[in-house]
Structure 1
Amino acid sequence: MTVLSIPSPSSGVWHLGPLPVRGYALAIILGIIASIWIGERRWAARGGRPGEVQDLAVWAVPFGLVGGRLYHVATDHDRYFGAGGSAWKILYVWEGGLGVWGSIFLGAVGAMIAAKRRGMRIAPMVDALAPGLLVAQAIGRWGNWFNQELFGKPTDLPWALEIDAEHRPAGYEDQATFHPTFLYEFGWNLLVFGVLIALDRRFRFGHGRMLALYVMGYTLGRGWIEMLRIDDVELSDVHGLRFNVWTSIVLFVVAAVYFVVSQRRHPGQEASPYVDGHVEGREPALTPAGDGSAAGTEPEGDAETGRGDRDAHDPGTGSGPGTPA
C-alpha cells in the first residue's frame, strides 16, 4: 500500500433507527437537486417561467432512473439472468448499477413529454438543462466510492484508492490500491461544466448546440476514463475496446456533426423558449398601428438570435438576470 492513498469508506450504509441511509442514494439525490437548481437558473435566464424545471423533473427523474437501470441490465444481464443470478436484484438499485446513457435517454424522453405539455420548445429546454447534468453526474459518481465499485487498474500513485479485499475483482486479490476513476470523472465533469458555462456566456448557444457540447465534453472524458476500468461486465471487449468506449466515440461524432450542421443552419439563439413566442418578464412587441396586421407576438430583438433588449440587462453575456455561475 502506498504511503499516500485515498481510503474507501468502511460502510456505505448508516442507520437512523430502522431506516437505512445509503451513500449511493444520497449521491444520486444530491446530484439531481444540484442539476435542477442549475437548470432553473439557466431556464429563467433564457426567458422561462420559474419553477418549470422542477415540473420537468417530476417526469425526467423517474424516467431517467428506469432508463439507467435498463441500460445496466441490458449490458450486464448475466448478473441477473445467468447462473447464480437473481432477476429480483434488478430492483436493488441501491447496490449500484445505473447506466449513464440509459438515464440520459429516457430522462430526456420524460423531460420532452413534460415540455410538450407545457408548450416549451425542446431545443431551448435541453440547452438550459444540459450543463447541470454534468454536475449531477459528478456528484453521483461519489456513490461508486461508497460502494467500492467501478474503480480502475492497480496503481501506486499518491492518489490511489484503497479497496477492501472483498470488493476486489478476480485476479486482483493481491492488489490494494487502484485508480480512483470516480474521482477522475468527478473532476472532469466539473471542468467541462465550467468550460460550457464560460462558452455559453460568450457565444449564447441555441438550437440544441449546448446539448451537443455537453455530449462531446462528457464522452471525451468518459472514453479515456473507461479505458482505465477493470470491472467485469459483458460487452467489455468489442474489437479491442470496451462497449462504453465505442458508445462514447459514436456519440461524440454524432454530437460534433450536429453542432456544425446546426450552427450553419440556425446561428444564434431562439427568440423565445416557448412555442407561442412568450418570454417571461417581457411583453410582446406591438406592430405599428394602421399596417393592417394584428398585434405581434415576436419579442423585441433579432428573431433569429433572440438578442435585443435582453442584451441591455447584461452586455457581457446577454443572458439577463439569473445567469448561472
Structure 2
Amino acid sequence: MNPVAFSIGGFDIRWYGILIATGIMLGIIISQYNCKWREADYDNLLNIVLISIPIGIIGARLYYVIFEFNNYKNNIIEAFNIRNGGLAIHGGLIFALGTALIYTKIKKLSFIKFADVAAPSIILAQALGRWGNFFNQEAHGDVVTYEFIKHFPMFIQKGMNIGGLYYNPTFLYESAWNLAIFAILMIVLRKSKKNGVVFFSYIGLYSVGRFIIEGMRTDSLMLGNIRMAQLISLSGIIVWIIFMVLNYYKCIVKGSACKE
C-alpha cells in the first residue's frame, strides 16, 4: 500500500492529506446547503470553519503527541510532521469546537445553531479521513486469519496485509459507521427544528461506535490502562443521554414544543 499519491518537485503528496482536504471541502459544500434548514448565515459559518479547522488540526496533533511523547522526545521536530498520520480526532474536535464556541460568544451568535448545521459535515469528513488511515496502514485491529479477511474486497485484503500478516480493518468499520451517522443527521436536520438535537445526536452516535471499535484497535492512545478514546466516548454518550432526557422533560412540561 503506497501512502504517496504523487510527487511535485520531489515533495510527496500523500493520500492522507488529500482525503482530509477532500472531506473538509465536501463538508463546507454540504454545510452551505444545510444552512437553510436552520436559517443560519453561511458567511458566519464559513468564518467559524476557517478559524476552527487550522486550530483543530493543531489540537489533533498536540493531543496525539502528548500521549505518544516518548516517540518524539528525542526528535521534537518530527512532532510537527503530520504527513505520516498521527492526528487524534478527539483532540481536533475539542480544539475546533472550543474555538467555535469562543468565536460565537464574541460575535453574539448561536453556537448550537451553527453546530447543528456543521455536524453532518464533520462526521462525513471523519468518514473520509479514516481512508487516509487505510493508506497509512494504521488504525487497524489485531491479526486475523485469511478466512476472516477474504470476505472483504481484494484492495482491503491487500491494504491490510502488513508484513505478511492480515489485520482487522477497523478503520473501515468506523468509516461505514460514520457514513450511516451522516445519513441519520441529514434526516434529523430536516425533521427536527429543535436546537441541539442534531449536534448532540452526532456526539452520542459517534461515541457509541467509537467506543466499540476502539476496543478492537491495537494503536489506542492510553492513559495508564485506559483507552482514552473509550473514556471520551463514554463521556460523549453520557452527555447525549442527559441532553435527550432534559429535552424529553421539556417536551412533557411545554407540550407543544415537542411538535416542532
Task: Please confirm whether the aligned pair reaches a TM-score higher than 0.5, indicating the same fold.
Answer: yes
**Is 2:115 aligned against 1:126?**
yes
Q: 2:217 corresponds to which residue? A: 229
Note the residue ranges of structure 2 that are not aligned, 5 or more in a row.
none
How many corresponding residue pairs? Answer: 248
CA distance in 2, matches of 1:190, 1:91: 30
Question: CA-to-partner distance for each residue in 1:230-274, whole Å, 9 max, x for gaps?
Answer: 126443732xxx23222211221122112321443479xxxxxxx
Tell me if structure 1 keeps the 8 A contact 2:101–2:111: yes
Question: CA-to-partner distance for each residue in 1:162-195, whole Å, 9 max, x for gaps?
Answer: 3332xxxxxxxxx521111111111100001111
Query: CA 1:62–1:263 in structure 2 vs 1: closer, same or farther (change >3 Å)?
Result: farther
Tell me if structure 2 keeps the 8 A contact 1:36–1:53: no
CA distance in 2, matches of 1:154, 1:34: 34
Q: 1:60 corresponds to which residue? A: 52
Q: 2:135 corresponds to which residue? A: 146
CA distance in 1, matches of 2:41, 2:3: 42
Larger radius of gyration: 1
- TM-score where L is the length of structure 2: 0.86
Q: 2:245 corresponds to which residue? A: 260
Q: What amino acid sits opposite 1:142 in the alignment?
A: W
Query: CA 1:305–1:62 in structure 2 vs 1: closer, same or farther (change >3 Å)?
Result: farther
1:210 alignment partner, one of 184, 190, 198: 198
Question: How far is 1:202 from its partner?
Answer: 2.4
Q: 1:192 corresponds to which residue? A: 181
1:37 alignment partner, one of 24, 29, 45: 29
CA distance in 1, matches of 2:249, 2:113: 17
Tell me if structure 2 keeps the 8 A contact 1:236–1:243: no
> Which SS does the other structure have where 2:36 is aligned?
helix
**Which structure is higher in helix share?**
2
**Is 2:166 aligned against 1:177?**
yes
CA distance in 1, matches of 2:38, 2:89: 27
Question: How far is 1:79 from its partner?
Answer: 1.5
Question: How far is 1:122 from its partner?
Answer: 1.1
Tell me if structure 1 keeps the 8 A contact 2:3–2:14: no
Query: CA 1:179–1:15 in structure 2 vs 1: closer, same or farther (change >3 Å)?
Result: same
RMSD of equivalent CA atoms:
2.4
- TM-score where L is the length of structure 1: 0.70
1:78 alignment partner, one of 51, 70, 74: 70
Q: 1:115 corresponds to which residue? A: 104
Moved more, 242-251 or 137-146: 242-251
Tell me if structure 2 keeps the 8 A contact 1:12–1:147: no
Q: What amino acid sits opposite 1:222 in the alignment?
A: R
Query: CA 1:236–1:186 in structure 2 vs 1: closer, same or farther (change >3 Å)?
Result: farther
Tell me if structure 2 keeps the 8 A contact 1:112–1:122: yes
CA distance in 2, matches of 1:211, 1:180: 28
Q: 2:207 corresponds to which residue? A: 219
Q: What amino acid sits opposite 1:162 in the alignment?
A: M
Query: CA 1:53–1:232 in structure 2 vs 1: closer, same or farther (change >3 Å)?
Result: closer
CA distance in 1, matches of 2:220, 2:103: 37
> Which SS does the other structure have where 1:47 is aligned?
coil
CA distance in 1, matches of 2:62, 2:95: 10
Query: CA 1:113–1:243 in structure 2 vs 1: closer, same or farther (change >3 Å)?
Result: closer
Tell me if structure 2 keeps the 8 A contact 1:63–1:109: no
Question: How far is 1:78 from its partner?
Answer: 1.5
